[in-house]
Structure 1
Amino acid sequence: MGLLAFLKTQFVVHLLIGFVFVVSGLVINFVQLCTLILWPLNKQLYRRLNCRLAYSLWSQLVMLLEWWSCTACTLFTDQATVARFGKEHAVIILNHNFEIDFLCGWTMCERFGVLGSSKVLAKRELLYVPLIGWTWYFLETRVPGPAQFLLYCEGTRFTEKKHRVSMEVAASKGLPALKYHLLPRTKGFTTAVQCLRGTVAAVYDVTLNFRGNKNPSLLGILYGKKYEADMCVRRFPLEEIPLDEKEAAQWLHKLYQEKDALQEMYNQKGVFPGEQFKPARRPWTLLNFLSWATVLLSPLFSFVLGVFASGSPLLILTFLGFVGAASFGVRRLIGVTEIEKGSSYGNQEFKKKE
């Protein structure tokens, strides 16, 4: 085992990474709060600053995927779609089966240069997630540059229990059963498409899976485990989606039947249809993290040395207690992404009429 591989497994290193992320996130959230004074004076400057600030935080998680775990991301699509991605406002529909599916979506946005202007159209409760959720308070629909709106039409992560309830609802509505997805919640999709007409040029359907039947986690990424993510990307011009709400809902149901067929093909053949593209990772996520680490870890190390040099048992115990609390906090943040600790949203909601 090399030195870097050894460091990736060490709790102290994980704690330092968590420290950089949390403290930089708090700084970024505070600066975002201060930018509110710019809103009545210069809205464009406010938007540009908040996109950059959001990028500085989100890209640290992307750095873990790209540079720490060296996870590979492959697109299965066509050249015309690749040429357009990141150059137009778009809604991205992504299946919600994995703990790091959002991170794979962010990674592709980063590689096409639109991470800072990406949005997540999700349940309001996520706004209360510390750091990342808080950044969304300061971001608008209108942003400088092409915006990517990530939409989880299933509404919640896939679990066997939620899938069973979802398929009961599908049967009651006379809809075909899905094997790998939950029944899409059409209201959010039709509302988003209706509100974004005239702004968004296309809907990108992204179907994600991992080679070797792996089920990756953010904790695994933190331990440096390498995964291979495959994404089948299809582009649909917004004009192809019906204006009528009921017809648009039918279009979405048909899309998810196609996504299910794509997952079945992947499970059988190990690949999605289409040409393979591997967009190169950019150095900015790594440089951003190293910059924050340099600024924040230097005073931390000086402080730690001072604590132990003091010889005060009370001071040392207080510091160790703080370290314990910090490790618990970081673990709680990671827990937000874990499927088994996910919300119960979907277990009962599918039983309600949309």
Structure 2
Amino acid sequence: MLHVLPKPLIGIISFLMYLLNTLFWAGPILLLAMLKLPPIRLWQVAITYLLDTCASAWISLNNFTTSLFSKIHWDIKGLDKLSVKDWYLVVANHQSWVDILVLQKVMNRQIPFLKFFLKKELIYVPVIGLCWWALDFPFMKRYNAAFLKKYPQLKGKDIETTRKACEKFRYKPVSVMNFLEGTRFTPEKQQQQQSPFRHLLKPKAGGISFVLNAMGEHLHKLLDVTIYYPKGAPSFWDFISGKVHDIKVRVRVLPIEQHLIGDYEDPHFRERFQHWVNQLWLDKDRQLSALQQGEV
């Protein structure tokens, strides 16, 4: 009923509720993180379950705020084979920051709490950076080719650092999220890239290969998520203001096969891996076309 309020008022109230919810859960999350410090594995695993429970509750309350002020028709398919007891790598097309809210809404309590690979510098973001650390979001430091040429002794160090950061995921199911395009889709970026896809930017195969090389032994399945907004990609303000009325999500569960794990610096492996990623993106592009035409 509250969705009939003026849109600017809905946006302000929703933003305040999101903010208060985040600040509320930051307290217990950081407290539990402190309790987790003693290096006792069973104790740390138990605290990790409590931390993820807090994070899921945070997402649930955000979803409640959305349902309170927005009248969205959610068309979601492909959740029937998911489990909170499995390990997943999640990939999706990227059009808006709203994609993250959509993924959290769709996947909350369907799979283990979503974790994003983050740049090391993001740990310094006030409050939320510490929460990401407390929730075991893996912070990674990538070295580009020019840097490695100057300091060849650091080759493979980024992989090893990330692998160590992900060691804790051996003892509790996890879902790791990666946007293969690396940035949000816009027609301008599509033209600049000369992307061969109608609805997508070119996927960056190196990023997902990095994740699989660091965590492949711990990840069991790939979730290929396609997000479609019939009225066009909304802004965060559009979403919290109740201006979004229709969202379609399709989920495919794919195996992570052994041949997908290897050294991306090896030209033969890189060629095979890029072919696999491009085929994944071709399938997604076709699905987006079908969604646009109302066929799936």
TM-score, with length taken from structure 1: 0.62
Matched with 2:285 is 260
Task: Write out aligned runs for 1:20-169 (5 A).
Answer: 20-28=20-28, 30-40=30-40, 42-77=43-78, 82-112=80-110, 114=112, 117-140=113-136, 141=166, 142=168, 145-167=172-194
Matched with 1:188 is 207
Matched with 2:151 is none
Q: Alpha-carbon deviation of 1:199?
A: 1.6
Q: Alpha-carbon deviation of 1:6?
A: 2.5
Q: Distance in 2 between matches of 1:68 and 1:111?
A: 22
Q: Report the secondary structure of 2:37's partner residue.
A: helix
In structure 2, do the counterparts of structure 1 residues 85 and 8 end up closer, same or farther at CA, with 3 Å as the change threshold? farther
The one-letter amino acid of 1:50's match is L
Q: Alpha-carbon deviation of 1:137?
A: 0.9
Matched with 1:179 is 198
The one-letter amino acid of 2:44's match is K
Contact 2:180/2:207 (8 A) holds in 1: yes
In structure 2, do the counterparts of structure 1 residues 252 and 21 end up closer, same or farther at CA, with 3 Å as the change threshold? same
**Count of matched residue pairs:** 256
Q: Report the secondary structure of 1:84's partner residue.
A: coil
Kindly report the root-mean-square deviation, in angstroms, between the aligned alpha carbons of the 2 structures: 3.0
In structure 2, do the counterparts of structure 1 residues 209 and 28 end up closer, same or farther at CA, with 3 Å as the change threshold? same
Contact 1:57/1:132 (8 A) holds in 2: no
In structure 2, do the counterparts of structure 1 residues 64 and 220 end up closer, same or farther at CA, with 3 Å as the change threshold? farther
Note the residue ranges of structure 2 that are not aligned, 5 or more in a row.
Answer: 137-165, 263-268
Q: Report the secondary structure of 2:257's partner residue.
A: helix
In structure 2, do the counterparts of structure 1 residues 258 and 15 end up closer, same or farther at CA, with 3 Å as the change threshold? closer
Deviation readout 1:224-253 (Å, 9 max, x if unpaired): 334221112222111275344412222011
In structure 2, do the counterparts of structure 1 residues 16 and 104 end up closer, same or farther at CA, with 3 Å as the change threshold? closer
Q: Alpha-carbon deviation of 1:14?
A: 4.2
The one-letter amino acid of 1:248's match is F
2:294 aligned to 261, 267, 270, which one? Answer: 270
In structure 2, do the counterparts of structure 1 residues 19 and 210 end up closer, same or farther at CA, with 3 Å as the change threshold? closer
Matched with 2:257 is 239
The one-letter amino acid of 1:209's match is Y
Q: Once the two structures are aligned, what percentage of the paired residues are identical?
A: 20
Relative to its length, the structure with more helix (as a share) is 1
The one-letter amino acid of 2:76's match is L
Deviation readout 1:201-224 (Å, 9 max, x if unpaired): 11111111023x243233233223
**Further displaced range: 4-13 or 140-149:** 4-13
Q: Distance in 1 between matches of 2:117 and 2:206?
A: 12
Q: Distance in 2 between matches of 1:241 and 1:254?
A: 15
Contact 1:121/1:150 (8 A) holds in 2: yes
In structure 2, do the counterparts of structure 1 residues 22 and 35 end up closer, same or farther at CA, with 3 Å as the change threshold? same
Q: Distance in 2 between matches of 1:40 and 1:50?
A: 16
Q: Distance in 2 between matches of 1:201 and 1:113?
A: 12
In structure 2, do the counterparts of structure 1 residues 139 and 26 end up closer, same or farther at CA, with 3 Å as the change threshold? closer
Q: Distance in 2 between matches of 1:112 and 1:14?
A: 25
Q: Report the secondary structure of 2:251's partner residue.
A: strand
In structure 2, do the counterparts of structure 1 residues 271 and 49 end up closer, same or farther at CA, with 3 Å as the change threshold? same
The one-letter amino acid of 1:136's match is W
Q: Distance in 2 between matches of 1:3 and 1:182?
A: 37
Note the residue ranges of structure 1 that are not aligned, 5 or more in a row.
Answer: 171-176, 273-354
Q: Alpha-carbon deviation of 1:138?
A: 1.8
Matched with 1:223 is 241
Deviation readout 1:307-340 (Å, 9 max, x if unpaired): xxxxxxxxxxxxxxxxxxxxxxxxxxxxxxxxxx
Q: Distance in 2 between matches of 1:19 and 1:61?
A: 10
